Structure 1
Amino acid sequence: MATFPSTGATGAPRDLLLKVTPPRVPRHLVSRARLLASADALRDHAVFVVQAPSGFGKTSLLAQWRLEYLGMGMPVAWVSAQNHDDPGRLVQSLALALRVAMGRPAFGRSVLEDDRPGNLGSVTALLSELTQAALDVVLVIDEAERLPPASREALAYLLRNAPPNVRTLIATRPDGRLDIEDLVAYGQCVEIGPALLKFSLDETLQLVHARFGARVDRNTTARLHELTEGWPLGLQLAMTIISRGADAHAALSGMTAAAGELQGELVRLLLVNLDPDDRDFLVRIAVLDLLHPDLCQAVSGAEDAAARLVRLNNDTPVFAAAEGGDWLRMHALARDVLRQRFGALDTAEQVAVHARAAQWLAAHDLFDEAAHHALSAGQHQTAYELAERSLYESLMRRGRQAAVLEWLAQMPADELDRRPRLLLAAAWTLASSERHDEAGRFVARILAQPDVGDALRCECALILGSAAVFADDPDRFVELHAPWTEAVPLTDPLLLQSHANRMAYRALLEGEPALARLRQQQAMRGHPGHGIDYIRRWSELVIGLSYAWEGQVLLAEQLLRPAVAGAEAELGRRHRFSCNLAALLAAVAWDRDLPGDAATLLADRLDVLEHSGLPESLLLAYRTAARIAAAEGAEHRALELLTALDAVGAARRLPRLRIASLAEQVRLHAQRQRAQTCRELCERIDAQLADPALPQGPLWRRSVETLRDVARAHAAIAARDWPDALAQLARADDQARQRKQGGLHIELLGLRALAQERCGQPSQALLREAMDLARAYGLQRVFSDAHPDLGAWVGTLAAESAQPEITVASAAAPPPALPATHGAVLTPKEGEVLSLLARNLSNKEIGRAMQVGETTIKWHVKNLFAKLDAGTRTQVVQRARILGLLGPER
């Protein structure tokens, strides 16, 4: 039998060549800006440890970084760790990887030829040779958790003693601790965990677009993100399943079917290969929303529950995220699969599991979760008592309306009447939804109880006031709030915060946005230290709405962006409050001319707003979505959205939304000079306003009359009836100024200037004033949204006024470098090679950066020589800059 030598020409074992071969980067890999090696948070560190369970894309991130460093001209050595890598074998692997990466055949010879390379002296020798190399290098160790303890100690020694020219990237699972906490503490090492590795919605949108292009819209992608929770493995599985079908959009639209296939894939990847004891353990703890070692032990009866949880967290992709401390959360996709298995267990065993869970949770004061398990165990009275102890507090502090509605649907009416706090929780929940009428009936049942004091009456007034807000009846809201403006018989900080929110909202409705903010600030000073609970979050919405009301979109954006991020993290992206807040921020982002941000904020949220959106949030969401569609050239989609707004207004009995829908349609048609259509729509507005069944209060009438006057002005503009347009605009502007609606006032100023110009009257001074106000407030789309002719005129004036500034600035500093534009001269690959040539990279280095062979690069360089009539690489770069194919040298 023929034998083969165990070592190659390098002096190292042949199998090491496989260990030092880097993986190929997937074709659809998306480079995430916040995880680029050149990002500000990562740029200046020497050691990076990517530590997460399987399924979080650790190897993909290392491969992405490898390409990035190769593009900078730095050699990257790759080592894939294995279980039998003792210290000697690890050091030899590192030496061989560095030799291959640097292209230096003699590098590491002493280590590779050492018969006993396992001591720390060999690591020191390797580091000394690296120092003498005088070359910045990157060292990558993937799957470091496989290394035996002695090898991890050697790796930690290497990290602590590495010279300044070495940057080290390590990927490991949570059980692969390297004991380098001192490096982390001193800022020399950055740890990247599961929270950072999960995809954000923006990154999921980018990933899906790169894979499927325009075939998949934002709403569908947002549903996919919600389904997978940004879990990299879940996204990968989902896109693999979707790509199997001919119609990606249809596959994604059927998210229920996609979820079923995803669960099937998880069963194949997870459950089939699990030890039966581990599978049974996971099935029994899957009924828990949050996992604690002691709770899992109580539920499953497994004495080794804590150790089993740690091992399964390391070995499987079941656990999506840690909630802090010893608590874990199971990924929703895996949990649903396992709960199906739990449902197949014997009924008596299911009841026993729920009973044990309820007992443990109640003993640890987790009454909300305990109540659900007690109900599932058939312990109804215990469940109702636990629910009474927890639901009201859970609602007011955490906004858990869904839990309240769930209990409301399954609890007998007589049980509710015996439990006033449950009645209060139900009334609060119903008031802030499309079912606001039902809240009044619950309040009547509360007030029918004996011994009702002033504090409870005041709280009931707050509940009815909330219902009036969701019913879009501002005059009823003010009437309910009036008796409690001075003497407030409340002591609960949450209710006092709710009362302050009402005070601020009343000031806003009465046209005093600055006073609304003052009310909120006074409330926060009077009741500090209660944290950001659910009720206090509503104050952020009121303040943000007050800024948007004034047109102060810069200030609104500054407040709302962190507020939306906090609400999504705490409550969830599709929670009703998160959706209301996001609708307001989307309108602000649109006014700031950030259409991509606005569209992302609204993705997969309109259905939530239809049922539980504030009327103002609902109006802003649909109007913003329609304007985005119109700007993208999809006028049919814009009109469909405005028709849907009218339908929602009819379904929820919100006539102002119906009038707003018609007014926005008038605006859209007026921009295209459809005078007859505009007249017909204005007639429909007048007919609706003539209905005596509509609210007649002054606050409500003032709001809709402003919409009517603006619509009439747009209709006059469409008909080229400029004198009538001026009259209508002046009337609407009077209303806007009285109510201090700054954004609308600026828009109407611009339209008045346009109408005056068409009437032959002086107009430029008025328009420049409007432009100056818009610039101060950050309103970048206000004029183009009002009318395209106005937007074009403003653009012309802005260019004229900016010309002198450009001249002055050019004398002081050169203009910014223009990006390279290859046009039709070069192919995309040739353009990429040219960019890397300009950075003085060799053909071999360019090939590594582009993941192609050196021969291919030589062929591209030869084509560049021919196309640019150059004889040297330097001439290629110089002529490319002269022709504008490259930006100027920095």
Structure 2
Amino acid sequence: MTREAGSANDDLLLKVSPPRVQRQLISRPRLLASDAAFHGFPAILIQAPAGFGKTSLLAQWRLEHLSHGVVVAWLTAQARDNPGRLAQALALAVRQGAGRPSFGHLLLDAVAPEGLEGITIWLAELAQTALDVVLFIDEANRLPPASREALAYLLRNAPPNLRTVIAARPDCHLDIDDLIAYGQCVVVDPAMLRLRLNETLELVHGRFGARVDNDTAARLHDMTEGWPLGVQLAMTVIARGVDARADVDGMAALGGALRDHIPALLLAKLEPDDRDFVTRIAILDNLHPELCRAVAQADDAAERLARLGRDTPIFVASERGEWLRMHMLVRDVLRQAFAGLAAPQQAEAHARAAAWLAERGQLEQAARHALIAGQNEKAYELTERSLYESIMAHGHQGVVLEWLNQLPAAELDRRPRVLLAVAWTLAASERHEDAGRYVERILAQPGVNDALRCECALILSGAAVFADDPDLFAALHDPWAESPPLRDPLLLQVHANRRAYRSLLEGDPALARLRQQQSPRGDFGSGRGYVGRWGELIIGLSYLWEGQVQLAESLLQPALASAEADLGRRSKLGCMLAALLASAVWERGRPADAAALLADRLDVLEHGGLPEALLLAYRTMARMAMAEGAEHRAMELLAGLDAVGTARALPRLRVASLVEQVRMHARRYRAQTCRTLCEHIDAMMDGDELPSGRLWRRSVAALRGLAQGYTAIAAQDWRGALEPLARAEAIAREIRQERLHIELLALRAYALDRCGETEAAALMREALDLAAGYGLVRVFDDAHPDVGQWARAVAGRTGVPGLGMPLPAPAVAVAPRPEREASRHDAARGAVLTPKEREVLDMLARNLSNKEIGRAMQVGETTIKWHVKNLLGKLDAGTRKEVVVRARILGLIQPT
């Protein structure tokens, strides 16, 4: 080999040296190399702007493949890699990865061949080996055009024993669209690389533990929109501070340290013309090439948007075709820069935006820009034309409230449809009393007909629902129940929702679903429409009402995803759907999922959620805290529920809070505390200020009986517990609240067992069978820990599989982990081994050599030999094979 060739090889060594995986990275199950989404594809293209973790994902995949004994070759591309140099780098990468010093000698020991000849030689030699090779090529966007063509040639002519994974920026065109179209290559885009909420929670808690709560982590996720680099920067700011919540608040208000990083990372590299362009369009919430062209007066707006969207993470693609939106952090910085422009320039830009949007029917956004531009009369006219549809078809309640604060009172009375929109908005909030006053203003105007009176009744009945007054709701709904004088399909759907809810209040959830299914299907525009999602919420509530948590989850999961996509994660309807779904997954025994669903949503529910959704959210969180042993946190949550009930004048929530407190103290047999709380409930119920209607009284009567039963259990007065439990159980059966019925049945069975009654076991078996049928996993442990323990004992004696009982300490549901981590978890029972020895043992079981284990663990072969020697001694084995056999016998690794 010549001296020049040796120098070239030395120069290539850094290109084929893979990076280390950062310790704080999380392993995302949906992005594992072994996931079904990537299985069977000979090529994978990871394409995203900077900051999306392309290199980190490649490094993680490399370790995953190494842990399975696969030969892995790594190459970091450079701008001076012509096709000949690229072929030499590929040869050295395989030589290093496979440990074969002779591989690629034709390429490395001579002058680099020209054109595609070197790639052809490399492919031919690789095909002749007996190696399954995974080739990782990072930063392929740096390659010159000729080398990109060579890479496309490599992909089209790859032998069966080669799999290629390429990471590149979006502006890298490899001309492999045909491979993608024919299923030979799968593309991983920015949407897949963005962190999901549960992944952000895991990442933040993995670094900060209990210092950062779920709400703060969820706010951080929403602020960064799951951009991996943004999350990392935010965590850096938090690590330097003392109060994590205050740090996140500062970032959200553009007063924190994160703001200083954004221009440097995202905007500093922009050309001055591009910087001016994005500053002028930052006033727009949603971006379209033609809209940006009109606002920024830039004829090349479409080209600029496409280029900046490819090269930077400034823009986020929308599901609406050509529409984009700007990343929230960047938009806020640029809007501050826009505010520095001359006032006439700002007004002119807003006026152009208003004109373009109004011509295309986007009236509310047009009105907003017109008002800022000083075109008040035009803004009010556009508002009248758009606001009613905005609330009825899209549920934009925040938009209506913003306009309510900006419109003069005289303008409101001149525009009846605006009054209607405001009344609908206030009715579905904690300001339900204000809705009544706006309805009075509507009915006082001339030209009122039956259709308008019926709509006003719908508004007031909705306010009664949010006021937790079911009897008033029934009184307002029933006169219009059968033949409403309505023609608008949206109003007919609202009426159908109310009929379904009325059936639910009477204790007939099946009829509620039937009425919902028979509702008229109007044209609600895109998607299923806002009122259609309310129908899904009612159906989900009906399933929870009767304890059908499996059906509730299957319905609510896609409904929540759709609502979040259209309305936002912290929208009122999205938060209510999340509260219902969290209750369902908690009952299914998945507390981690329930916690993620409720993160940073409780404040929205407090100010505008349905009483039932608010109750379910607080109760789920309190029970999670109790299951974790954090009784102080559970007490705080239940006190918060009582405070919200007081602030919103919802006495049923106060009763429910006291009942949950009785349940909590009864678990520790605190008889005196339970008696005091029960006396407080009795005093509230006997007061004159509470509603006296039949439906409301029945809803709390079961809760009162449950509290009395728990109080007797706390005092271990088993005979005294039977009567109130039986009374509450009869009400639960009458209104078909099966989850409550099963809980009361189990409590009564336990009390009978403590009294020595023989029928106790039969009752518990019935409760177990019902719980299994409904998919209820938590019901017995949530009722009382002793009831849960006895239920498991009865279930074990019956020998009937599939009863749905949890383990003694219900496990937190976690996402699937790589096989290497799962084996490590199983081996953790062998306390005799160190963590590193358990990892080495796991790979020995896969018949990996010391060199392969060293590559997978990123340590030297000598270190692995030392670990193997320790394993031989600890397991009293003479060979590597005996080590594996004895480990399986001892249960340190799972048997094959």
Q: TM-score, normalised by structure 2?
A: 0.94
Partner of 2:777: 780
Counterpart position of 1:810? none
Q: Secondary structure at the match of 1:93?
A: helix
The one-letter amino acid of 1:864's match is L
State the AA in 2 paired with 1:121: E
Identity of aligned residues (%): 66
Which secondary structure does the structure 2 equivalent of 1:15 belong to?
helix
Give the drift of 1:378. 1.0
* Counterpart contact for 2:645–2:652, Cα < 8 Å: yes
Q: 2:818 is matched with which residue? A: none
For residues 135-182 of structure 1, what are the alpha-carbon distances to aligned partners after superposition, in whole Å with 9 as ceiling and x for unaligned? 111111112222232222221121111111111111122211222222
Does 2:833 match 1:826?
yes
- Are residues 849 and 642 of structure 1, via their aligned partners in 2, closer, same or farther at CA, if it must alter by over 3 Å? same
| Counterpart-to-counterpart distance in 2, 1:258 and 1:529 | 36
CA contact (8 A) 1:194 1:321 kept: no
* Residue 264 to residue 320, structure 1, CA distance change in 2 (3 Å): farther
- State the distance in 2 between where 1:852 and 1:287 align: 52
**Cα offset, 1:77, TM superposition:** 1.3
Q: Please give the alpha-carbon distance, in whole angstroms, between the structure 2 residues aligned to 1:826 and 1:404.
A: 63
- What is the correspondence of 1:595-606 to structure 2 with a 5 Å cutoff? 595-606=591-602
> Aligned equivalents of 1:8 and 1:545: distance in 2?
72
Structure 2 equivalent of residue 8 of structure 1: 6
Letter in 2 for 1:261: A
CA shift at 1:386, angstroms? 1.6
Does 2:696 correspond to 1:689?
no
Deviations 1:89-147 (A, max 9, x none): 22222222122111112212223356463323332222111111121111111122222
Q: Which aligned pairs between 1:238-249 and structure 2 lie closer than 5 A?
A: 238-245=234-241
1:714 is aligned, of 701, 710, 725, to 710
Of 117, 123, 127 in structure 1, the residue corresponding to residue 123 of structure 2 is 127
Residues 657-685 of structure 1 show CA distances to partners (whole Å, capped at 9, x for unaligned) of: 11111111111111111111111111111
Among 479, 501, 505, the residue aligned to 1:505: 501
Instruction: Measure the CA separation in 1 of the matches of 2:282 and 2:884.
Output: 61
Q: Which amino acid aligns with 1:887?
A: Q
In the TM superposition, residue 341 of structure 1 has moved relative to its aligned partner by: 1.2
The 5 A counterparts of 1:367-382 are 367-382=363-378
| SS of residue paired to 1:50 | strand
Match of 2:463 in 1: 467
Candidates 84, 90, 99, aligned match of 1:88: 84
Number of equivalenced pairs: 875
Q: Kindly tell me: are residues 192 and 259 of structure 1, through their superposed partners in 2, closer, same or farther at Cα, counting changes over 3 Å?
A: farther
Q: Deviations over 1:520-579 (max 9, x none)?
A: 111166889974111100111101111111111111111112222222222111111111
Seen in structure 2, the aligned counterparts of structure 1 residues 756 and 255 have a Cα distance that, compared at 3 Å, is farther
Q: Which moved more, 1:52-61 or 1:144-153?
A: 144-153
Q: Give the distance between the partners of 2:255 and 2:56, measured in 1 at CA.
A: 24
Seen in structure 2, the aligned counterparts of structure 1 residues 160 and 599 have a Cα distance that, compared at 3 Å, is same
1:272-310 CA-to-partner distances (Å, cap 9, x unmatched) read: 343222222221111111112222222112232222222
1:231 aligns with 2:227: yes
> 2 CA distance for matches of 1:328 and 1:793?
57
Separation (CA, whole Å) in 2 of partners of 1:804 and 1:641: 36
Equivalent residue for 1:627, pick from 598, 623, 628: 623
The SS at the match of 2:799 is helix
1:785 counterpart letter in structure 2: D
Cα deviation per residue 1:185-233 (whole Å; 9 max; x = unaligned)? 2222111111111111111111112212232222221111111111111
User: How far has the Cα of 1:693 moved from its partner?
Assistant: 2.1
Equivalent residue for 2:658? 662
RMSD of equivalent CA atoms: 2.1
**Residue 374 of structure 2 aligns to a residue in which SS?**
coil
Q: How far apart, in 2, do the equivalents of 1:143 and 1:347 lie?
A: 44
Name 2:794's counterpart in structure 1: 797
> Matched residues in 1 for 2:685 and 2:541: separation?
26
* Contact 1:81–1:143 under 8 Å retained in 2: yes
Superposition deviation, residue 33 in structure 1 = 0.2
For 1:253 and 1:365, locate their aligned partners in 2 and report how far apart those are by CA, in whole Å: 36
Map Cα deviations across residues 769-821 of structure 1 (whole Å, 9 max, x no partner): 11111111111111111122211110111122238999xxxxxxxxx999323
Residue 848, structure 1, aligned to residue 846, structure 2? no
**Larger deviation, residues 372-381 vs 754-763:** 754-763
User: More deviation in 790-799 or 77-86?
Assistant: 77-86
Q: Please identify, of 697-706 and 714-723, the stretch whose mean Cα deviation from structure 2 is larger.
A: 714-723
Cα distance per residue 1:434-463 (max 9 Å; x no partner): 011111111122222222222222211111
1:26 deviates by: 1.1
With 72-81 and 536-545 compared, the bigger mean Cα shift is at 72-81
Given candidates 859, 867, 872, the residue that maps to 1:860 is 867
Alignment partner of 2:844 out of 825, 837, 850: 837
Matched-pair contact (CA < 8 Å) for 2:570–2:604? yes
Is residue 422 from structure 1 mapped to residue 418 from structure 2 by the alignment?
A: yes
Amino acid at match of 2:6: G
Separation (CA, whole Å) in 2 of partners of 1:25 and 1:53: 20
Q: Assess if the C-alpha contact under 8 Å between 1:131 and 1:165 holds in 2.
A: yes
Separation in structure 1 between the aligned mates of residue 690 and residue 731 of structure 2, nearest angstrom: 20
Question: What is the DSSP-based 3-state SS (H/G/I as helix, E as strand, rest coil) of the residue aligned with 1:711?
Answer: helix
Q: CA deviation at 1:834?
A: 1.1
In structure 2, relative to structure 1, the CA distance for the partners of 1:522 and 1:804 (3 Å cut) is closer
Q: How big is the shift at 1:860?
A: 1.7
Give the AA of the match of 2:80.
H
Give the counterpart letter for 2:323 in structure 1.
Answer: W
Whether 2:328 is the aligned partner of 1:321: answer no
Match of 1:755 in 2: 751
Contact 1:241 1:258 in 2 (8 A): no
CA spacing shift, 1:397–1:88, aligned 2, 3 Å: farther
The question of whether the paired residues in 1 share the 8 Å contact of 2:5 and 2:108 is answered with no
Counterpart contact for 2:88–2:112, Cα < 8 Å: no
Q: SS at 2:187's partner residue?
A: strand
Alignment partner of 2:289 out of 290, 293, 298: 293
Task: Give the whole-Å Cα distance in 2 for the aligned partners of 1:409 and 1:135.
Answer: 70
The 5 Å alignment of 1:329-728 reads: 329-523=325-519, 531-728=527-724
Which has the higher mean CA deviation after the structures are superposed, 85-94 or 25-34?
85-94
5+ residue gaps, structure 1:
807-815
Q: What is the deviation of 1:391?
A: 2.1
SS of residue paired to 1:417 = helix
Contact 1:215-1:249 within 8 A present in 2 as well = no
Q: What CA distance in whole angstroms lies between the structure 2 residues aligned with 1:589 and 1:166?
A: 42
Please name the residue that 1:871 is paired with: 878
Partner of 2:305: 309
CA distance in 2, matches of 1:526, 1:741: 32
The one-letter code matched in structure 2 to 1:819 is: D
1:58 equivalent among 41, 54, 58: 54
Counterpart of 1:72?
Answer: 68
Q: Hey, what's the Cα distance between the residues in 1 that align with 2:522 and 2:230? A: 47
The residue aligned with 2:14 is 18
User: CA offsets, 1:702-729, max 9 Å, x none?
Assistant: 1111111111111111122222211111
The one-letter amino acid of 1:381's match is E
Aligned CA distance change for structure 1 residues 237 and 349 (closer, same or farther; 3 Å): same
| Equivalent residue number for residue 768 of structure 1 | 765
Q: Secondary structure at the match of 2:74?
A: strand
**Higher mean C-alpha displacement, 61-70 vs 321-330:** 321-330
Change (3 A) 1:43 1:764: same
Structure 2, unaligned runs of 5 or more: 804-821
Mapped partners of 1:850, 1:601: distance in 2? 35
Q: Secondary structure at the match of 2:532?
A: helix
